[in-house]
Amino acid sequence: MWYFRGMSERWDPAELRAIGDSHEMEVAVRRADGGLGRWTTIWVVCADGEVFVRTWHRRETGWFGGVVRTGRARIRAGGLETDVVVQDVGESGRAAVDAAYRKKYSGGVTDMVSDTAAASTLRFSPASGTR
C-alpha cells in the first residue's frame, strides 16, 4: 500500500466502482493556463483502493509525458469527471497492479504487465477541493 497523499484525497467507494467497472478511461492533460488538452482513451485499473494507469512504452510526449510533467490531469470514466493528482510510482506495488490488469483485460495484457510497462505505472488520486 502507498502512503503519499500530497494535495490529494482518497477515492470514495462509489467513484472507485465507477472507474473500476469502466473498460476504459479518458484523460486530458491540465495545461498551465488551466485549460485541457485533448482527451485520450486509456486502460485503467483499481488495486488496493487506488487508481492506476500505464503505458506500454514510457515517453516524454503525449498524454503520458504531459501528466508526468504537470502532475495533474482530468479524467472521465463511468459517468465520473474529476481532476486528479498524478504520481509516478513505477514498479511500486507491481504485483497488485499486474493482477488487476490481468483480471480486467484478460488475454490482451502481455505488454501491459511487462517490465517496461510496469516502470511507467502512474497513480491517479482525486485532487483536493475538486469534489
The Cα-based distances of 120 to 102, 103, 125 in angstroms read: 17, 19, 16
Euclidean distance between CA atoms 125 and 59, whole angstroms: 21
pTM of the model: 0.89
Residue 10 contacts residue 51 (beta carbons within 8 Å): no
DSSP single-letter state for residue 43: -
Euclidean distance between CA atoms 1 and 92, whole angstroms: 9
Confidence label for 59 from pLDDT (cuts 50, 70 and 90):
confident
Give the 3-state secondary structure of residue 54. coil
To which CATH superfamily is domain 13-101+115-126 assigned?
Electron Transport, Fmn-binding Protein; Chain A (2.30.110.10)
Q: For 19-56, what is each residue's pLDDT tens digit?
A: 999 999 999 998 889 899 999 999 999 999 999 999 98
Q: For 61-104, what is each residue's pLDDT tens digit?
A: 899 999 999 999 999 999 999 999 999 998 888 999 999 999 99
Identify the pLDDT of residue 9: 84
Give the 3-state secondary structure of residue 90. coil
Distance of CA 87 to the CA centre of its chain: 9
Give the 3-state secondary structure of residue 20. helix
Residue 57 reports pLDDT greater than 80: no
96 half-sphere exposure, CB direction, 13 A CA radius: 14
